[in-house]
């Protein structure tokens, strides 16, 4: 259990059965009055935000969250299979649970998973990943249309815009936070 | 980073000059005390069998009783668990007391003090200082404070009236989140006419028993000071203390002792008034900052 005086930015609480993280916190206390703990919190599953003011007498349950390092194995249809690198257990996540992260998964890649009640609520892939371009139109020299990018597909099936000089079979680096091309990798 | 040490030193010297000119005696009372005021919402920090003062109030009122009619003190105070943008567990308090005067006299003192700072602070700063008065603050301090009753302030700024807020136990919350941000915006503001339930150590108004002779001073949305006509009826004070002690015990906390020596001295005072001003907050305003941490010599996180 947490007391109101434990509240601070980054604390994870269980509210009505849902895990919340405190994203903003302000302590206030009017002259001769009682302590007020105003928290802005984000539901770690739905992303919904909530602002509440607590008092010294309020108590909170901890949101029990488990972090796991997982190695990506393969995917079959909508299911992506991983191995927990600590327990060697296999587990599957859906494309929906992975969101954009599914664009960057290659065999044996290690990702960090955050689990609440056995359910994955957040998956973090490395910030930069290197992927092979599997489909790209050739660079038409003398192209005067003025386009400075062209679409390519990488080995995971993800499509993105890259500079026109990138060719099929080359490896490129992608920033997984934005999904954008960073540089060509030798 | 603003130059907090020079601004603080200038502020302290300027305040001492102000009180000296008004015939006040500077006192220094012990900060480690065997008994303190029992207050439900102010938690002390203990030091062996003693308490660090949450305010120099008790000793200063005892000095009034011992024949020192105008006294002031600049001292460190300690309150457990008060940590935030505008709260530190250790902070600097300015308190002053007047024998034979009521809270209106303290309001006049506040106006004079802010005006004195506006006119004289620069004289106490070193010649090569990079201190600059925040835009308009000096003019605001020279204007003097406007007076707004708690009921009017709630009617103007809060989603509920004062009576509704009191009935719902939502006074503190509505005050902090809805009312305070609007106070002291174009000039300092005195918030006055507190409901009797929030009298604390204040006397009730002889004209209207539902109202306490208590006020707070605000500047730019920041609560700076809390003053009142002191309750000098030792029996009534004992009754309020006993109630507060019982509440604290019911909350499951250590039952505080009755400050008997204070009550004995209080019985010798006829009328008096006193005020506590948070100096770190005043200095924060002078530095045009929005957090105490930038106005103190060492922030708690920096220790």
- Closest in B41, B84, B86 to A32, CB measured: B41
Bridge partners of A23, per DSSP, are none
CB contact under 8 A, A5 and B81: yes
The answer on A37 and A18 residing in a single domain is yes
Using one digit for the tens of pLDDT, what is the confidence trace for B132-148? Answer: 999 899 999 999 999 99
Sign of CA dihedral B114, B117, B118, B120: positive
Whether residue B48 is contained in a domain is answered as yes
Using one digit for the tens of pLDDT, what is the confidence trace for B21-32? Answer: 999 999 999 999
Q: Which helix (H) or strand (E) holds B86?
A: none
CATH number, domain containing residue A106: 2.40.50.140
Work out the pLDDT band at A98, boundaries 50, 70, 90.
confident
pTM score: 0.81
Closest CA to B239 of B293, B199, B289, B190: B199
Q: Which residues of B touch A27 (CB under 8 A)?
A: 82-85, 87
| Residue A94 region by backbone torsions, left for phi larger than 0, else alpha for psi between -120 and 50, else beta | beta
- What angle is formed at CA B52 by the lines to CA B171 and CA B57, rounded to 5 degrees? 60
- Average pLDDT in the B159-176 region? 96
- Both tokens assigned to B265: 């001295």
Whether residue B127 is contained in a domain is answered as yes
Whether residue B130 is contained in a domain is answered as yes
Per the structure, the count of domains in chain B is: 1
pLDDT for B2 beyond 70: no
3-state class (DSSP) for residue B173:
helix
User: Rounded to an integer, what distance in angstroms lies between the CA atom of residue B175 and that of residue B158?
Assistant: 8
Using one digit for the tens of pLDDT, what is the confidence trace for A51-68? Answer: 999 998 899 999 988 889
pLDDT for A144 beyond 70: no
Q: Any residues with CB less than 8 A from the CB of A53 and at least 6 apart, and which?
A: A36, A37, A38, A39, B173, B177
Work out the pLDDT band at B94, boundaries 50, 70, 90.
very high
ipTM of the complex: 0.87
The answer on A55 and A19 residing in a single domain is yes
Bridge partners of A130, per DSSP, are A173
Q: Which residues of B touch A29 (CB under 8 A)?
A: 41, 82, 84, 87, 172, 176
pLDDT for A88 beyond 60: yes
Whether residue B99 is contained in a domain is answered as yes
CATH number, domain containing residue B38: 3.30.930.10
CB contact under 8 A, B172 and A5: no
The residue range of the domain holding A101 is 65-124
Whether residue B163 is contained in a domain is answered as no
């Amino acid at each position: 259990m947490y007391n109101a005086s434990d509240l601070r930015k980054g604390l994870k609480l269980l509210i009505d059965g849902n895990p919340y993280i405190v994203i903003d916190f302000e302590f206030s206390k009017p002259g001769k009055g009682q302590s007020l703990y105003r928290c802005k919190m984000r539901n770690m599953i739905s992303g919904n935000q909530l602002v509440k003011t607590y008092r010294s007498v309020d108590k909170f349950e901890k949101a029990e969250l488990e972090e796991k390092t997982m190695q990506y194995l393969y995917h079959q249809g909508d299911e992506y299979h991983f191995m927990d690198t600590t327990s060697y257990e296999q587990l599957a996540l859906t494309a929906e649970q992975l969101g954009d992260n599914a664009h960057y998964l290659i065999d044996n890649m290690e990702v960090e998973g955050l689990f609440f009640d056995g359910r994955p609520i957040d998956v973090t892939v490395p910030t930069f990943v290197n992927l092979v371009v599997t489909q790209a139109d050739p660079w038409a020299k003398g192209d005067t249309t003025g386009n400075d990018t062209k679409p390519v597909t990488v080995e995971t099936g993800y499509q993105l815009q890259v500079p026109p000089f990138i060719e099929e079979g080359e490896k490129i680096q992608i920033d997984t936070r934005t999904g954008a091309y960073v540089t060509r990798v030798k | 980073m603003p130059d907090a040490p020079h601004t603080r030193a200038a502020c302290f010297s300027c305040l001492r000059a102000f009180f000296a000119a008004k015939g006040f005696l500077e006192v220094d009372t012990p900060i480690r005390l065997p008994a303190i005021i029992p207050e439900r919402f102010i938690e002390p920090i203990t030091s062996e069998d003693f308490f660090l003062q949450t305010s120099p109030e008790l000793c200063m009122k005892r000095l009034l009783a011992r024949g020192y009619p105008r006294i002031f003190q600049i001292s460190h105070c300690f309150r457990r668990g008060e940590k935030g943008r505008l709260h530190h567990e250790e902070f600097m308090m300015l308190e002053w007391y007047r024998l034979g005067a009521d809270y209106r006299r303290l309001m006049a003192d506040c106006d004079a003090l802010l005006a004195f700072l506006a006119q004289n602070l620069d004289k106490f700063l070193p010649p090569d200082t990079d201190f600059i008065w925040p835009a308009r603050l000096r003019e605001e301090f020279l204007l003097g404070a406007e007076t707004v009753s708690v009921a009017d302030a709630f009617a103007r700024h809060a989603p509920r009236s004062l009576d509704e807020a009191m009935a719902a136990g939502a006074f503190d919350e509505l005050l902090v989140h809805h009312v305070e941000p609007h106070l002291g915006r174009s000039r300092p503001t005195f918030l006055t006419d507190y409901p009797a339930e929030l009298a604390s150590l204040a006397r009730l108004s002889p004209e209207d028993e539902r109202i306490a002779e208590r006020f707070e001073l605000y500047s730019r949305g920041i609560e700076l000071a809390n003053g009142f006509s002191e309750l000098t009826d030792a029996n009534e004070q004992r009754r309020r203390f006993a109630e507060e002690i019982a509440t604290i015990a019911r909350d499951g906390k250590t039952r505080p002792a009755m400050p008997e020596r204070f009550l004995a001295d209080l019985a010798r005072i006829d009328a008096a008034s006193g005020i506590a001003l948070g100096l770190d907050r005043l200095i924060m305003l002078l530095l045009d900052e929005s957090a105490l941490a930038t106005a103190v010599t060492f922030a708690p996180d920096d220790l």
